[in-house]
Amino acid sequence: MHAAPSALTHAASSQAVTSALPLTFGLEEELFVLYQGRSSLGSLWPMGQLLWQEPGRNWAATATNFRRGKAAWREPMSSVEVSTGIEGSAATLFMATMARRAELSRLFTTGQLVALGALPSSDRYHTCGLHVHIGVPANQTRRVYGNLAYFLPVLTRASSSSPYFARQLHPDGLGRVSASFALGRLGDDRYERFQDIIITRRLGTIELRVLDPVPDPERLWAILKAIEGVARLPHTLPFEAEMYNALRAEALTGYSSNLQVRAQELQDTTGFDPHWAEHTEAQRVVAHTQQHGWASTLAHLDGLYRTGLWQDLATPHPRPPHWQGPAGFARYYLPKLPAIARKAYIENKK
pLDDT of residue 16: 38
Q: What is the average pLDDT score of the chain? A: 92
pLDDT of residue 271: 97
- State the average pLDDT over residues 6-24: 55
Instruction: Return the CA Rg of the chain.
Output: 19
Cα distances from 246 to residues 137, 150, 174, 252, in angstroms, run: 29, 12, 15, 10
Residue 300 zone, left/alpha/beta (φ > 0; ψ -120 to 50; rest): alpha
Domain contains 138: yes
- State the average pLDDT over residues 106-131: 97
How large a percentage of the chain has pLDDT more than 90?
Answer: 85
The Cα angle at residue 232 between residues 217 and 213, in degrees rounded to 5: 25
Q: Across the strands, what pairs with 38?
A: 35
Let me know: does 162 contact 121? Beta carbons within 8 Å. no
Domain contains 7: no
pLDDT at 313 over 60: yes
- Say how many CA atoms lie within 13 Å of 228 toward its Cβ: 27
Domain contains 41: yes
Domain contains 3: no
pLDDT of residue 349: 64
Domain contains 160: yes
Question: Can you give the CATH number for the domain in which 103 is found?
Answer: 3.30.590.20
Predicted TM-score of the model (pTM): 0.92
Domain contains 301: yes
pLDDT of residue 344: 66
Smallest CA-to-CA distance from 276 within 297, 294, 259 is with: 259
Domain contains 263: yes
Smallest CA-to-CA distance from 217 within 95, 132, 103, 87 is with: 95
Which amino acid appears at position 141 of this protein? T
Q: Which domain holds residue 68?
A: 19-348
In three-state form (DSSP H/G/I as H, E/B as E, the rest C), the secondary structure along 168-231 is EECCCCEHHHHHCCCCCCCCCCCCCCCCCEEECCCCCCEEECCCCCCCCHHHHHHHHHHHHHHH
pLDDT at 56 over 60: yes
How large a percentage of the chain has pLDDT more than 70?
Answer: 92
Q: Across the strands, what pairs with 165?
A: 168
pLDDT of residue 346: 67
- Encode burial over 331-344: b for 16+ CB neighbours within 10 A, e otherwise: bbbeebeeeeeeee
pLDDT in tens, 235-289: 999 999 999 999 999 999 999 999 999 999 999 999 999 999 999 999 999 999 9
- State the average pLDDT over residues 280-300: 97
- Domains: count for the chain: 1
Let me know: does 176 contact 129? Beta carbons within 8 Å. yes
Smallest CA-to-CA distance from 97 within 81, 116, 79, 77 is with: 81
Domain contains 74: yes
